[in-house]
């Protein structure tokens, strides 16, 4: 367990049931209290011990002295004009800010989750890279994003770790959060409905293999040509596309989880016929589908999106090559909540 940056106490949203049972035993309380607390937190979205009515006042006091519960006291919620996206800006204990987005689908809601405040990867087509890196989020700050969305009545059934930050650079906190969110005592969200995005951090992929962790991955390609990719994604220098692709190939051979290649289209940079042929070859090697994302423009990003006509032509080219392909529908662009736009609260 980590501890809250202000109080040095473990936070209720980062404690597993087994850890909570151990704390309850140390406090010399009845074992069943641990289960009661988890029911309040994850079934009723109540974090305050004082509101847990089936726990005695004396035990509430004892618990509050040992476990931190404050989370998300200050949140800005910005709805998009079409009401298909809701951006949440969380103001953290140390004045860092983090953004998460509720994406409304026809039959379910997805939460785009952040793993870091800012991002150190500096992809040139992403606003979060412009913001720069502030710090890793603690487990409770990751779980808290889902907790807050659920508490507001947005029934979250799908999670995409595609918000601010590179999840594999905050491996321990991200995957502990995933264990809690997936657990029956937690929000019980299926791992098959979770996707972790990466810009290609080789050590993180190798660790997934070593620790036998199975999760849907989305790999942000930028460009399938390593030389061109390095200009768009500096991570290429220390994490070469050839080595990352080989590691992803080994990882995919271990399980049947989905792999998606995320491809942000930039006019005149990665949209040529040769670029798309190389992208298709990579997708075939990895047995992956391609998700095309037309750039969401911003004054701080020095690129332009391609035309709608070109987008459809590229999609048809990929389909003719026999590779599964989708186009990501833009949601939340008017509130800077679309893909690659998180970080406006800092700017």
Q: How many CB atoms lie within 10 A of CB 253?
A: 9
Look up residue 165 and give its two tokens: 């930050």
- Residue 4's nearest CA partner among 115, 73, 90, 92 is 92
Q: How many Å apart are CA 344 and CA 333, to the nearest integer?
A: 11
Q: Are 194 and 178 in contact (CB under 8 A)?
A: yes
Q: Are 118 and 132 in contact (CB under 8 A)?
A: yes
Catalytic residue flag (residue 99):
yes
Catalytic residue flag (residue 45):
no
Q: Among residues 14, 99, 166, 236, which one is catalytic?
A: 99
The residue written with tokens 């080989």 in the block is: 246
Q: Among residues 119, 123, 223, 339, which one is catalytic?
A: 339
Q: Are 114 and 100 in contact (CB under 8 A)?
A: yes
- Residue 4's nearest CA partner among 134, 117, 140 is 140
Query: Catalytic residues, which ones?
Result: 99, 339
């Amino acid at each position: 367990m980590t501890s809250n940056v202000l109080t040095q106490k473990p936070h209720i949203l980062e404690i597993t049931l087994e850890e909570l049972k151990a704390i309850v035993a140390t406090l010399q309380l009845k074992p069943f209290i641990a289960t009661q607390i988890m029911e309040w937190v994850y079934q009723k979205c109540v974090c305050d011990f004082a509101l847990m009515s089936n726990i005695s006042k004396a035990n509430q006091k004892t618990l509050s002295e040992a476990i931190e519960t404050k989370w998300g006291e200050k949140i800005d919620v910005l709805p998009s004009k079409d009401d298909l996206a809701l951006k949440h800006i969380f103001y953290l204990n140390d004045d860092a800010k983090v953004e998460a987005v509720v994406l409304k689908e026809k039959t379910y809601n997805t939460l785009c989750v952040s793993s870091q405040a800012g991002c150190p990867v500096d992809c040139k087509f992403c606003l979060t890279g412009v913001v720069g890196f502030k710090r890793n989020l603690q487990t409770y700050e990751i779980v808290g994003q889902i907790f807050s969305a659920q508490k507001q009545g947005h029934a979250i059934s799908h999670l995409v770790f595609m918000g601010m930050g590179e999840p594999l650079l905050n491996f321990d906190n991200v995957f502990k959060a995933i264990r809690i969110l997936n657990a029956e005592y937690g929000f019980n969200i299926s791992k098959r409905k979770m996707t972790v995005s990466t810009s290609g951090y080789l050590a993180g992929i190798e660790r997934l293999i070593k620790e036998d962790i199975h999760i849907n991955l989305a790999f942000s390609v930028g460009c399938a040509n390593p030389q061109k990719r390095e200009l768009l994604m500096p991570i290429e220098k220390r994490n070469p596309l050839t080595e990352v692709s080989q590691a992803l190939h080994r990882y995919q051979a271990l399980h049947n989880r989905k792999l998606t290649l995320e491809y942000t289209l930039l006019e005149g940079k990665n949209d040529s016929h040769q670029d798309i042929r190389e992208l298709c070859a990579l997708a075939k090697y990895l047995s992956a589908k391609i998700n095309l994302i037309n750039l969401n423009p911003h004054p701080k990003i020095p690129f332009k999106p391609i035309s709608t006509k070109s987008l459809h032509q590229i999609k048809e080219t990929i389909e003719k090559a026999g590779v599964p392909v989708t186009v990501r529908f833009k949601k939340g662009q008017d509130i800077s909540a679309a893909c690659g736009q998180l970080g406006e609260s800092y700017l």
